[in-house]
Amino acid sequence: MKILVLNAGSSSQKSCLYQLTGDTLPSKPPQPLWEAKIDWSVSAGLGLLEVEANETALEIQLESDDRPTGVSQMLKTLVEGKTKVLKELSQIDIVGHRVVHGGAEYSQATTISKEVKEAIARLIPLAPTHNPANLEGIEAIEKVLGDIPQVAVFDTAFHSQMPLEAAVYPIPYEWFEKGIRRYGFHGISHKYCADRVAQLLGKPLESLKIITCHLGNGCSLTAISEGKSINTTMGFTPLEGLMMGTRSGSIDPAILIYLMREHNFNADQLDKMLNKASGLKGVSGLSSDMRSIKEAISEGNDRAKLAFDMYIHRLKACIGSMLASLGGLDVLVFTAGIGENAAIVREKACEGFEFLGLKLDKDKNNSSPVDEDIAMSDSKVKILVLHTEEDWAIATECWHVMMS
């Protein structure tokens, strides 16, 4: 079975092709046959396409920023040139898409129909940068591959069963009825990590209390009990919760009212400030990239140190709140760019939780672990560093659709 995965972001389009044989899923994520990425942010009006397959890496300058044309050029590299891995595109059996917002309706991966596309479009006001890109990807595939089965895998789905006390905001209830509620995001990654924990520990997922820390450019935590998300840090939008690369995370909402009244900020300016000019970047004045923050700290930069300390302070506060939702903890998971690579963030995040019997093994933590437990052997809580595999999780959903 050949499964194409599309993962569209606001300024990029990632894609990969998996080939699966036999009638069971492999226990470990396989290497894709082909991987590609279009970066739309490199220069105005152009796109940069990077492709890897057959041990060849290509870079192609796209002559326009028309996204459907870009997707079809990207797909051409599957059947032409040095990265050719298919005779023809019709060999692809199914296409899976990461869709950021599925609203309250979608609690599972869903085969894409006219109604599903309408729902994704209807939810654009809730995910104004992502859902349009997801829809464009779906339509671009329709253009090139006709009526091939396509599956939407929603980042909100894993959280859709959160208990009401975690999902409802303490504002007039009528707003909840109109859709203003906590949805949660990064669900594909949080769910993948929960399943992987159970697999690596050889225990039923339902028996484990897990906190997953997805720390990338966007950051969120999820409390998982009996295999379900019972609380998470992102909310109505991916802005709530932790301090992130360029996003503020949670702040006193009265700050916004103050800025509007006293400094004439409008909605667009507030949006830009909180989403693009805050977090590590806004506080340090330097960069949203944790690597640059670490480097600046080593050179004695005080603002970078403050940004780092705030990041950890807020991370620990949110781990504490997930802990309270769970009433205990078996496994703490770190994943995504920072979670997988920044040993110092893991070390500092664990400090203060020793009272749980959680003991980090610093040597293991510093030895670039991948899918490994970095806790001491007598730690009561396991600490796992997992490589998140969102694309594989999407492919797995497609496989289930094909096999059902």
Binding status of residue 149 toward ligand ADP by CB under 6 A: no
Q: How far is the CB of 332 from ligand ADP (least distance, A)?
A: 18
- Compute the distance between CA of residue 271 and CA of residue 55 in angstroms, rounded to an integer: 42
Q: How far is the CB of 245 from ligand ADP (least distance, A)?
A: 5
- Among residues 210 and 338, whose Cβ is nearest to ligand ADP? 338
3 state SS of 69: helix
What are phi and psi for residue 112, nearest 5 degrees?
-80, 130
Edge to edge, what strands does the sheet with 219-225 contain?
A: 228-232, 219-225, 209-215, 331-335, 382-385, 372-373
Q: How far is the CB of 19 from ligand ADP (least distance, A)?
A: 24
Q: How many residues does the chain have?
A: 404
- Compute the distance between CA of residue 174 and CA of residue 337 in angstroms, rounded to an integer: 39
Query: Segment contacting ligand ADP (CB under 6 A): 70-78, 114-122, 148-156, 283-291?
Result: 283-291
Q: Can you list the positions of beta strands (E) in 107-208?
A: 110-111, 150-154
Please select the residue that binds ligand ADP; options are 81, 337, 348, 402, rule is CB under 6 A: 337
Catalytic-residue membership of 155? yes
The catalytic position among 23, 155, 252, 268 is 155
Binding status of residue 338 toward ligand ADP by CB under 6 A: yes
- Among residues 235 and 245, whose Cβ is nearest to ligand ADP? 245
Please select the residue that binds ligand ADP; options are 65, 139, 142, 289, rule is CB under 6 A: 289
Q: How far is the CB of 336 from ligand ADP (least distance, A)?
A: 4
Q: What is the 3-state secondary structure (H, E, C) of 210-252?
A: EEEEEECCCEEEEEEECCEEEEECCCCCCCCCCCCCCCCCCCC
- Among residues 182 and 214, whose Cβ is nearest to ligand ADP? 214
- At how many degrees (to 10) do helices 290-298 and 302-326 cross? 130
- Compute the distance between CA of residue 68 and CA of residue 138 in angstroms, rounded to an integer: 9
Binding status of residue 72 toward ligand ADP by CB under 6 A: no
- Give the contact letters, 296-335, x = binds to ligand ADP (CB under 6 A), - = no: ----------------------------------------
Query: Segment contacting ligand ADP (CB under 6 A): 57-65, 103-111, 121-129, 338-346?
Result: 338-346
**Contact of 221 with 212, CB cutoff 8 Å:** yes
Q: Which tokens sit at 258?
A: 């103050």
Picking from 315, 199, 188, 339, the residue whose alpha carbon sits closest to that of residue 249 is 315
Size of the site for ligand ADP (CB under 6 A): 12
Touching ligand ADP, residues 192-221 (CB under 6 A): 216-218
- Among residues 70 and 245, whose Cβ is nearest to ligand ADP? 245
Please select the residue that binds ligand ADP; options are 203, 272, 291, 313, rule is CB under 6 A: 291
- Among residues 89 and 221, whose Cβ is nearest to ligand ADP? 221
- In the bound complex, which residue of the shown chain has the CB atom lying closest to ligand ADP? 337
- Among residues 330 and 339, whose Cβ is nearest to ligand ADP? 339
Task: Label the pairing between strands 209-215 and 331-335.
Answer: parallel
Q: Which residues face 148 on adjacent strands?
A: none
The structure tokens 């050179």 sit at 299
Touching ligand ADP, residues 237-256 (CB under 6 A): 245
**Contact of 18 with 392, CB cutoff 8 Å:** yes
Under 8 Å CB-to-CB from 332, ≥6 apart: which residues?
Answer: 210, 211, 213, 319, 350, 353, 358, 381, 382, 383, 384
Q: How far is the CB of 106 from ligand ADP (least distance, A)?
A: 22
Q: How far is the CB of 369 from ligand ADP (least distance, A)?
A: 13
- Among residues 167 and 345, whose Cβ is nearest to ligand ADP? 345
**Contact of 293 with 287, CB cutoff 8 Å:** yes
Binding status of residue 342 toward ligand ADP by CB under 6 A: yes
- Among residues 2 and 14, whose Cβ is nearest to ligand ADP? 14
Q: Which residues bind ligand ADP (CB under 6 A)?
A: 216-218, 245, 289-291, 336-338, 341-342
**Residues annotated as catalytic (active site), given as ranges:** 155
